Amino acid sequence: MDPITQGAVGAAAAQLAARPRDFAKVALVGALGGMAPDLDIFIRSGTDPLLALEYHRQFTHSLLMIPLLGGIVGLALYGLLGRRWQLDWRQCVLWSILGYATHGLLDGCTSYGTQLLWPLSDRRFAWDSISVIDPLFTLPLLLALGFAIRRRSRPWLLAGIAWSACYLGLGFIQHERAIAMGEAIAASRGDQPLRLEAKPSFGNLVVWKVIYETADAFHVDAVKPGLGQETIWPGDSVVKLDAPRHLPWLQDNSQQWRDIQRFAHFSDGYLALDEQHAWRVVDMRYSLLPQQIQALWGIQLSPERGEEAHVDYVTQRSGSREALDQLLAMIFH
- Segment 215-256, tens digit of pLDDT: 999 999 999 998 778 999 999 999 999 999 999 999 998 999
Q: Is residue 186 part of a domain?
A: no
pLDDT band at 290 (very low <50, low <70, confident <90, very high): very high
The verdict on residue 156 lying in a domain is no
Task: Inform me whether the pLDDT recorded for 90 exceeds 80.
Answer: yes
The residue out of 78, 96, 127 marking a domain boundary is 127
- Dihedral sign computed on CA atoms, order 215, 221, 226, 229: negative
Q: Considering the domain boundaries, does residue 233 fall inside one?
A: no
Residue 272 lies in a domain: yes
276 in any annotated domain = yes
- Domain end residue (candidates: 68, 94, 127): 127
* Candidate from 70-79, 155-164, 227-236, 254-263 with smallest mean pLDDT: 227-236
Domains in the chain, number: 2
Q: Give the domain-ending residue among 75, 110, 127.
A: 127
Does a structural domain hold residue 119? Answer: yes
* Interatomic CA distance for residues 78 and 135, integer angstroms: 32
* pLDDT classification of 86: cutoffs 50, 70, 90: confident
Answer yes or no: is 25 within a domain: yes
The answer to the question of residue 72 being in a domain is yes
Per-residue model confidence (pLDDT) at position 275: 87
* pLDDT value of residue 38: 98
Which structural domain range is residue 258 located in? 238-327
Q: What is the pLDDT of residue 228?
A: 73
Summarize the confidence of residues 176-186 as an average pLDDT.
98
**Region 206-213: what's the mean pLDDT?**
98
Three-state DSSP class for residue 319 = coil
pLDDT (0 to 100) of residue 85 = 85
HEC string of 276-314 equals CCCCEEEECCCCCCCCCCCCCEEEECCCCCCCCCCCEEE
209, β-bridge pairs: 199, 222
Rounded mean pLDDT, 107-121: 96
Determine contact, residues 131/145, Cβ cutoff 8 Å. no
Give the model's pLDDT for residue 79.
94
